[in-house]
């Protein structure tokens, strides 16, 4: 089996200043593609350490993928280290990357400086995969078996996560063209509205009855819920997919509408799929989620086809004057109440003329209101058949609460629209 | 200088199933304590790989801290690997940890099973630091200089983040008792409004004149701009801080108000600092950023003290009917225009009664409007002295554009409020 090592380069990771998410996301993608990640290593911005570490990884792996250290500034010394490691005699300019550099800087209204131009220079020992998302090219160093005792390839990717992850599909294609890679058959389903432990208990009999070669993984995420992934390594793809589908049918009968998608997905996409092309529209009224729900809804390309807009009513005055929440309701029931959530949802529907709406009012923390516990959220959903409200309680962690409140509201909205559309 | 390596053990990290946050948080704590983290390594649940990797790390580091692989289940094989690595002749029961195991399980209403009791067994080659937060003890293996050519210590911590991080203070105390530990002095400054390459060119003379022992790092981030970090290892903390401060004063004279903070920070915090306690308030009107600006502003604890609310006006009807944008302006200038941005900013100030406001209208992509290029954003900022507008151009990448449009708008707002407050 083809083995890979993922290396991140940069002092900022070693001193704990930034969290390395590249390794995680690259490993996840490699694994999905059937390439086993054997090790991950983080190295500082030190030429000798970079050379020694990469050499070590190349000795024991078929593939090494590095990210970072390729910026235009002086602390980025990876390229020189790679030149030394690969025995380069000099640098050559990559015309395709240079053109991309010009295009990117031009589009930002910036001049192309010498430091920018220098990014198109690569050691004469590498091949280039153009990086269309940034200025640093992706460098591919192929070592024949005399060097490390086996054929080995080093892919040097930029460190900016967006660029590094953008490069991964091309890297995987290249790996597949040069190394034996088993087929892996994965299927994901997305579940929201159940704690991982409750879910795990509920599906335990099904899990125990799975054939030994079908692997189940739980991938919980506070914004998207729990992703359940079934995988089979090797075998004929078509027949494996049929086998997995049969298991998913059984699972679907157990979980019902807690499943919101049969592919890797998120709630805002699921809502988009429900609304696109129906002529139905959506709006939001947010208090404690502070714009996060609107932000999630509009992260879906084409959201302008159904999302009209939203009001973030952080101040009571905005709830009353813009959304038309009755001051008496606030006085009698409190700002964090299902009644206010209902009036907010109805208010924003009236204001924007949307078919559906969702609203939140709650306490994300750290400060409470003296009445409700921090972590309380009241959610409203409204549509032609009426308005529904819910209350949920989470912990005292502002950042996490905003995410969970938003995801929970989107899930209630998803279920509400599903039931309305099926009427 | 005392050098450390942080190793995480577990297949779940290598297959990209969970994000490793232990390494990040342990490194951050070690670094603050003056212990330089030289490398981070992630290894799978494979005995031989664990032994080889830890041995390698011990050869080149004074201290190795591992986390994970110490659970009661069969896939946790780290303890046996550590016994082999340290030449252990057998296991001994640690009475203190056994008592903790009994206490923890009793408090959860669980019986103490053999697998639980076995967790108190440790190789006879190690010392134990009791783990009061969980069942697996912290094992300390001290190797004298004959083994790896220098005195080296291996600390094996449990993998549960809460337990691993809980162990770190005791580990640091132990390190300080056995190894020389220097002070480290770091300072960060935050810059927005300049591309990394332009910034690098502008400060090149300053950078070149820095004393050799003061290290500069660039840490670009699309939401927070470029973080410049100066570090000095060793020396007397107070005098090093004075030296770094003097260099930052020189840098400040070059960069002026492109610097928005002299600590690790973000734009929404900087805006919060400007507004908190002044009685001035803020609102936002967002089109293409879809709620992201409100979401960033409200991510700051205490934002309710100055942020009144926002309108996401995705549909033209919401721009006209809620924000009061003149339909003629939209017809004559187009939705994506500085004129519409100005009317949005003024409209949301009127609607909410805020002192200041910020607005965005643009094309995040992937679809354009046939007039403006995808990646174009018009930004408005409004306050008691009037309204200003700006246009900026980025690429065709929806997700990134939303982030950059939002950060750029916050930076214009930050500069606008600074200039208004200094009047």
Q: Inter-chain contact B290–A295, Cβ cutoff 8 Å?
A: yes
CATH architecture assignment, domain B3-178? 3-Layer(aba) Sandwich (3.40)
Question: What is the model's pLDDT at position B74?
Answer: 61
Nearest CA to A213 among A182, A254, A258, A172?
A182
pLDDT of A370 > 90? The answer is no
Mean pLDDT of B156-177: 93
Rounded to an integer, the average pLDDT of B356-375 is: 92
Q: pLDDT tier at A137 (50, 70, 90 boundaries)? A: very high
Helix, strand, coil percentages, rounded to 5, for chain A = 45, 25, 30
For residue A315, give the nearest of B30, B218, B308 by CB distance.
B308
What residues are paired with B341 via a beta bridge?
A: none
Which of B219, B309, B322 lies closest to A12 in CB terms?
B219
Pick the CATH number of A184-261 from 3.40.50.300, 3.30.70.2860, 3.60.150.10, 3.40.50.720: 3.30.70.2860
Tell me what the mean pLDDT of segment A276-292 comes to.
97
Residue A404 host element (H or E):
helix A398-421
Instruction: State how far residue B65 is from chain A, nearest Cα, in angstroms.
Output: 13
pLDDT for the residue numbered B73: 65
Residues contacting residue A208 through CB under 8 Å, at least 6 positions apart? none
Give the model's pLDDT for residue A236: 81
Instruction: Tell me which chain A residue has its CA closest to the CA of residue B53.
Output: A39
Chain B nearest C-alpha distance from A43 (Å): 5
Closest alpha carbon within chain A to B184: A15
Asked if A314's CB is within 8 angstroms of B309's CB, the reply is yes
Lowest mean pLDDT among A77-81, B16-20, B70-74, B323-327: B70-74
Closest CA to A401 of A306, A287, A305, A237: A287
Give ipTM to 2 decimals.
0.82
Cα–Cα distance between B365 and A302 in angstroms, integer? 9
Which residues fall within 8 angstroms of residue A221, CB to CB, at 6 or more apart? A227
* Mean pLDDT score across all residues of chain B: 93
Beta-carbon count within 10 A of B162 CB: 9
Beta partners for residue B387, in sequence order: B382
- In chain A, which residues have their Cβ closer than 8 Å to the Cβ of B220? 71, 160
Specify the residue for token string 């929806």. B398
DSSP secondary structure code for residue B169 in this structure = H
Angle at B205 between CA B201 and CA B209, to 5 degrees: 140
Buried b (16+ CB within 10 A) or exposed e, A379-413: bbbbbeeebbbeeeebeeebeebbbbbbbbbbbbb
> Residue B195 has what pLDDT?
82
Q: Do A17 and B229 touch (CB under 8 A)?
A: yes
Residue B409 has pLDDT above 80, yes or no: yes
B7 has a pLDDT exceeding 80? yes
For position A74, what pLDDT does the model report? 67
| Segment A39-56 mean pLDDT | 94
Task: Say if the Cβ atoms of A299 and B200 lie within 8 Å.
Answer: no
Which chain A residue has the Cα nearest residue B208?
A74
Q: What share of chain B is helix, strand, coil (3-state, %, to 5)?
A: 45, 25, 30
- Angle (nearest 5°) at CA A382 between A380 and A385: 140
Interchain pair A75, B201: CB under 8 A: no
More confident residue, B308 or A233: B308
The 3-state DSSP class for residue A16 equals: coil
Query: What CA–CA distance (Å, rounded) separates A63 from A411?
Result: 41
Nearest CA in chain A to B351: A322
Judged by CB atoms closer than 8 Å, whether chains meet at A291 and B312 is answered as yes
The domain spans of chain B are 3-178, 184-261, 267-421
Mean pLDDT of B223-252: 90
Q: Tell me the pairing of strands A225-233 and A307-313.
A: unpaired
Asked if A311 and B314 come within 8 Å (Cβ–Cβ), the reply is: no
Structural tokens at position A251: 């699972």
Q: What is the pLDDT of residue A405?
A: 97
Asked if pLDDT for residue B266 goes beyond 90, the answer is yes
Q: What is the mean pLDDT of residues A371-386?
A: 95
Q: What is the pLDDT of residues B39-98, one digit of tens each?
A: 999 999 889 999 999 999 999 999 999 999 887 766 678 999 999 999 999 999 999 999
- Packing angle, helices A22-32 and A161-178, rounded to 10: 30
What torsion do the CA atoms of A363, A368, A370, A374 make, to the nearest 10 degrees? 60
pTM over 0.90? The answer is no
Alpha carbon B125 to its chain's center? 38
Segment A179-198 mean pLDDT: 85
Strand B215-221 versus strand B225-233 pairing type: antiparallel
At residue A75, does pLDDT exceed 70? no
Q: Of A146, A24, A135, which Cα lies nearest the Cα of B15?
A: A24
Average pLDDT on B139-165 reads 94
A319-359 residue pLDDT tens = 999 999 999 999 999 999 999 999 999 999 999 999 999 99
| pLDDT of A100 strictly over 70 | yes
Superfamily of domain A267-421: CinA-like (3.90.950.20)
User: pLDDT category, B224, cuts 50, 70, 90?
Assistant: very high
Size of interface A-B (CB pairs under 8 A): 283
Query: Residue A311: which of B13, B290, B309 has the nearest Cβ?
Result: B309
- Cα B333 to Cα B392: distance, rounded to the nearest angstrom: 17
Strands A91-93 and A356-362, bridge-based pairing: unpaired
pLDDT class of B234 with cuts at 50, 70, 90: confident
Name chain A contacts of B26, Cβ cutoff 8 Å. Answer: 16
The two structure tokens encoding residue A125: 């020992």
Q: Tell me the HSE value of B124 on the side-chain side, using a 13 A CA sphere.
A: 6
Q: Which residues pair with A185 in a beta bridge?
A: A232
CA–CA min distance B394, chain A (Å): 6
Q: Residue holding tokens 């915090």?
A: B269
Q: Which residues of A touch B218 (CB under 8 A)?
A: 71, 73, 75
Least CB–CB distance from A366: residue in B29, B197, B301: B301
């Amino acid at each position: 089996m083809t083995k890979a090592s993922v290396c991140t380069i940069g002092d900022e990771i070693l001193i704990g200043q930034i969290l390395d998410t590249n390794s995680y996301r690259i490993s996840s993608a490699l694994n999905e593609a059937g390439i086993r990640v054997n090790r991950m290593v983080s190295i500082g911005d030190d030429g000798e350490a970079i050379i020694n570490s990469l050499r070590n990884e190349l000795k024991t792996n078929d593939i090494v993928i590095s990210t970072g250290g390729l910026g235009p500034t002086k602390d980025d010394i990876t390229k020189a280290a790679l030149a030394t490691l690969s025995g380069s005699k000099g640098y050559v300019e990559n015309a395709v990357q240079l053109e991309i550099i010009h295009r990117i800087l031009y589009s930002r209204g910036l001049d192309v400086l010498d430091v920018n131009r220098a990014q198109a220079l690569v050691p004469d020992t590498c091949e280039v995969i153009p990086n269309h998302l940034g200025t640093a090219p992706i460098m591919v160093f192929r070592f024949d078996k005399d060097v490390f005792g086996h054929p080995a390839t080093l892919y040097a990717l930029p460190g900016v996560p967006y660029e590094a992850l953008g490069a991964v599909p091309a890297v995987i294609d290249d790996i597949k063209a040069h190394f034996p890679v088993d087929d892996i058959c994965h299927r994901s389903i997305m579940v929201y509205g159940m704690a991982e432990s409750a879910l795990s208990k509920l599906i335990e009999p099904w899990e125990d009855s799975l054939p030994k070669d079908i692997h189940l993984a739980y991938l919980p995420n506070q914004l998207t819920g729990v992703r359940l992934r079934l995988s089979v390594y090797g075998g004929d793809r078509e027949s494996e997919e049929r086998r997995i589908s049969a298991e998913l049918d059984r699972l679907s009968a157990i979980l019902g509408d807690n499943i919101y998608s049969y592919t890797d997905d998120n709630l805002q996409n699921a809502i988009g799929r429900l609304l696109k092309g129906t002529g139905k529209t959506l709006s939001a009224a947010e208090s404690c989620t502070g714009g996060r729900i609107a932000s999630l809804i509009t992260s879906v390309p084409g959201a302008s086809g159904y999302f009209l807009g939203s009001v973030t009513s952080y101040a009571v005055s905005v709830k009353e004057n813009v959304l038309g929440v009755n001051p008496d309701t606030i006085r009698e029931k409190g700002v964090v109440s299902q009644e206010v959530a209902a009036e907010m949802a109805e208010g924003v529907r009236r204001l924007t003329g949307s078919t559906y709406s969702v609203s939140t009012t709650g306490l994300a923390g750290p400060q409470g209101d003296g009445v409700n516990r921090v972590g309380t959220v009241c959610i409203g959903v409204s549509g032609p058949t009426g308005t529904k409200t819910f209350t949920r309680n989470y912990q005292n962690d502002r950042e996490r609460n905003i995410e969970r409140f938003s995801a929970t509201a989107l899930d209630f909205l998803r279920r509400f629209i599903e039931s309305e559309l099926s009427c």
